[in-house]
Amino acid sequence: MTGEGDIDALALIERLELDVARDAIAGDVRRTPVLACEELGELAGGPVVLKAECLQRTGSFKLRGALNKVSALGERARDGLVTASAGNHARAVAAAARLHGIGCEVFMPRDASVSKVAAVERLGAHVHLEGADVDDALELALARAARGGPAFVHPFDDPDVIAGQATIGAELLEDVPDLARVVVPVGGGGLASGIAIALRRAGRDVEIVGVQALACAPLARALAPPGAPLEIEPPSAATIADGIALKRPGRLTLPLLRELLASVETVSDEEIGAAMVFLADAAKLVAEGAGAAAVAALRSARLAPVRGTTVAIVSGGNVDGGLLAGLLRRQETEEGRRVRIFTRVADRPGGLAELLNLVAGARANLVSLEHVRDAVALGVRETGVELTLETRGPEHTAELLAALDHAGYAVIVT
């Protein structure tokens, strides 16, 4: 997993059995839609469509590669499967095992998302929460397979898995006639490799742009020209895009991506979070951090426009609900549509009601209210209150604050 070795990228590109893979997964995977996104197109300087793999069965593209691998294993899969993943690949392998009626063991990092762990267990897999990150979990899964029994299914560094992911490229060729560029999240590189190989084999001149999280961008480092200045942090798993947080490129995928990618872009966690909110608001798609990385790159306006249609791969939608809710609330605050204020009211019957009537009269929506009696200076027969309010935006908030000031309330925006 740590180097290119003697891998011949061009030979590997030619020998992948793409038609076999498409037949192997037919009927078990969903042909996901491509959805036009005009708002993103305006930012990117040309037409943009979203390949919504977040709507795939199991919630990500990973099912394609897992199913093709199980098909390729044939009788060797009878003793079950073992794999490692932060979530999406684990869920895909568990689903593939259930479809084929075989057992499954999964090694996941100790801090893996609770919701992703639960989803894997619901599919009948036995989960081992071990290792600090995906790389550690992979070593543990390989060791388990070496002891005999289940067959190991690598998340990305496997020709059969790559061929399964290539089926997305085949669908894009059929669904996007003027396809000019594909922007794709890159963790281990199986998805980007598969899509790029499908397009190369079809003889199409399509630009492939990989996207990594700034906090974990080993591929960007590996593919950078010697001596090039890099504004990239040392690889770390501490990113909102945990699905692509791998510290080393794959032994197979690194030479493939060196041959196939036009460039590698990096996006910050702030940009990824904003892209998740954008997808929920503008496209009505739920995307996890890794799944939103390609959209984050396009929203950054750092990619030059192309002649033709750009596809952003929304690779997965298995996001923790609490995380997405927090991002949405933060976005509302940044846009001035959510405000928290502190003021004082008379500590008598009807004192609070008078304040709330003013808020209602200004057409603001009360989200939460808390009495504050400690650690603030209060007069006799006075109590503090902290309100969280939803408004239509900064102008509406200013109108509300003016109305409260006119009524004699000293308001502090917290």
Residue 295 belongs to domain with CATH number: 3.40.50.1100
Domains: count for the chain: 3
Residue 235 has pLDDT above 80, yes or no: no
pLDDT digits (tens, 9 = 90+) for 345-383: 998 899 899 999 999 999 999 999 998 888 788 888 889
Same domain, 356 and 393: yes
Q: Which amino acid, residue 259?
A: E
Average pLDDT across the chain, whole number: 90
Return phi, psi of residue 44, to 5°.
-85, -15
Average pLDDT of span 131-151: 91
Task: Indicate the residue among 328, 359, 389 that finishes a domain.
Answer: 328
Same domain, 122 and 221: no
Same domain, 258 and 339: no
Same domain, 322 and 343: no
DSSP letter at 158?
S
Task: Indicate the residue among 328, 359, 382 that finishes a domain.
Answer: 328
**Of 301, 245, 247, which is closest to residue 271 (Cα–Cα)?**
301
pLDDT digits (tens, 9 = 90+) for 237-286: 578 888 888 877 788 999 999 999 999 999 999 999 999 999 998 999 99
Average pLDDT of span 142-147: 94
Domain extent, residue 235, equals 9-60+158-328
Average pLDDT of span 206-229: 82
Average pLDDT of span 386-403: 92
pLDDT digits (tens, 9 = 90+) for 156-166: 999 999 999 99
**What percent of the chain clears pLDDT 90, i.e. is strictly above it?**
70
Task: Indicate the residue among 152, 169, 200 that finishes a domain.
Answer: 152
Same domain, 321 and 296: yes
Residue 2 has pLDDT above 50, yes or no: no
Same domain, 14 and 146: no
Q: Could you please report the per-residue DSSP string of 251-290?
A: TTHHHHHHHH-SEEEEE-HHHHHHHHHHIIIII-----TG
Average pLDDT of span 47-73: 97
**CA–CA separation, 221 and 339 (whole Å):** 41
